[in-house]
Amino acid sequence: MQAMNDRKAARAVGIWLMIGVGMIIIQVILGGVTRLTESGLSITEWKPITGVLPPLNDSQWLAEFDKYKNTDQFRHVHGDFTVSDFKFIFFWEWFHRVWARMLGVVFLVGFVYFLAKRMFKKEMIIPMVILFLLGALQGAIGWIMVQSGLVPEKLFVGHIELTTHFIAALILLCYTFWFALGLLVPKQAIVHNTSLHRLVIFILVVVFIQLTYGGFMAGLKAATVAPTWPTMNGEIIPAGMDTLSPRIKNLSDNKLMVQFIHRGIAYVLLILVFVYWLRSKAYKGSQIFRTAKAVPLLLILLQVILGILTVINSPYANRLVWFGIAHQFVGMLLLLSIVLMLYLIHSNKNGPAITTA
């Protein structure tokens, strides 16, 4: 009876965490929309409580608009904005912040409920504390990111700060997902193969590097510098990738170099995931493993197509937003699919090798 109750409690907590995973994905998407619509600096103050409510009348809207007019982004980029234009960008930044608060409330209320019902096992407490610390850190990084754009001569949020915020969100996403998998996936679903396990770890590292460069791409709007495919402005290796000093700065600040690296890693990932898929076909494993093992390949193929479409359509602002968000969304799904496979595939030292088909 106790074992059954423990399983039910673990499942309930796992579902709650999966709801959190979904909300984090939406939060990252909202962050992408905020960046691509240049909305991130529309709210110039951080008001954790009173900031939940947007301006409710014309005088409040004018007051917020006046604050925005003091930013260099307004002076040099959006000087022709009307109050109506300002309301549009304000909405996305406000929605992004409010969704973050809702996410915190969902986690806090769930935590208090499960704690009161004594549904947490002792081994869950430390991971829960880490989860909340990661969430708090993400909020702090978000405000630091906004502050980076609210300084003289800064027209947008810094792309390094934006990418740090993005990667921190993905770490929180992966941690929450992994925590949930530990509560929802039965132990008998785990398979064992050392070489495949190592390959998936390597792919996961490359995915994070690629997502970092995806953050640079979004922060610099680097797609617009070479909106062609398969070449970059007619060249396989474009000129102008080594123009910054010191030279190492080109790796993170040169738009051509950033796009060139982002494209190159995409092709490397495609090959790595294809190799993983070929090798995984040799094993039966559990039902979950058999069902999920082809998902990374399907997602990387879709992701490459969306990446090409995003670059080609980057000169058109509206298209860039939609294709960019779709590209980001599928990128997160790809990341989670790799995390899932890493969870399902363990090293041989933890058990017998999975049988061949």
pLDDT tens digits, 148-173: 555 555 555 678 888 888 899 999 99
For the four alpha carbons of 232, 160, 334 and 278, in that order, the dihedral sign comes to positive
Tokens of 309: 């479409």
pLDDT at 57 over 70: yes
Mean pLDDT of 312-339: 93
CA 223 vs CA 12, 156, 173: distances in Å = 43, 17, 26
Tell me the CA end-to-end span of the chain in Å, nearest whole number.
37
**Which of 56-60, 182-186, 257-261: highest mean pLDDT?**
257-261
113 or 305, which is more confident: 305
Mean pLDDT of 318-331: 92
The candidate with the shortest Cα–Cα distance to 139, out of 105, 100, 91, is: 100
Ranges of H-type helices in the chain: 2-36, 58-69, 72-76, 83-116, 122-149, 159-184, 194-220, 250-253, 255-280, 287-292, 295-312, 317-344
Whether cis (ω within 30° of 0) applies to the bond prior to 230 is yes
Cα separation of 157 and 140, whole Å?
15
Q: Which pLDDT belongs to residue 153? A: 53
pLDDT at 175 over 80: yes
43 or 220, which is more confident: 220
Question: Domain residues of the chain, as ranges?
Answer: 1-184, 188-357
Q: Which pLDDT belongs to residue 40? A: 73
**Which of 44-48, 188-192, 242-246, 272-276: highest mean pLDDT?**
272-276
Q: Which pLDDT belongs to residue 122? A: 74
% of the chain surpassing 70 pLDDT: 89
287 or 229, which is more confident: 229
Cα separation of 331 and 306, whole Å?
10
pLDDT at 107 over 60: yes
Task: Point out the least confidently predicted range of 26-30, 134-138, 266-270.
Answer: 134-138
Going by C-beta distance under 8 Å and a sequence separation of 6 or more, which residues neighbour residue 16? 110, 114
Q: Which long-range contacts (CB under 8 A, 24 or more apart) does 289-293 make?
A: 289/189, 289/191, 289/344, 289/345, 289/354, 292/337, 292/340, 292/341, 292/344, 293/341
| pLDDT single digits (tens) 12-37 | 889 999 999 999 999 999 988 888 88
Confidence of residue 257 (pLDDT cuts 50, 70, 90): very high
The CA R_g of the chain, rounded to the nearest whole Å, is 22
pLDDT at 50 over 60: no
Give the position of tokens 């995806």: 214
pLDDT at 87 over 60: yes
Tokens of 268: 């490397």
Task: Point out the least confidently predicted range of 35-39, 179-183, 347-351.
Answer: 347-351
Mean pLDDT of 303-314: 95
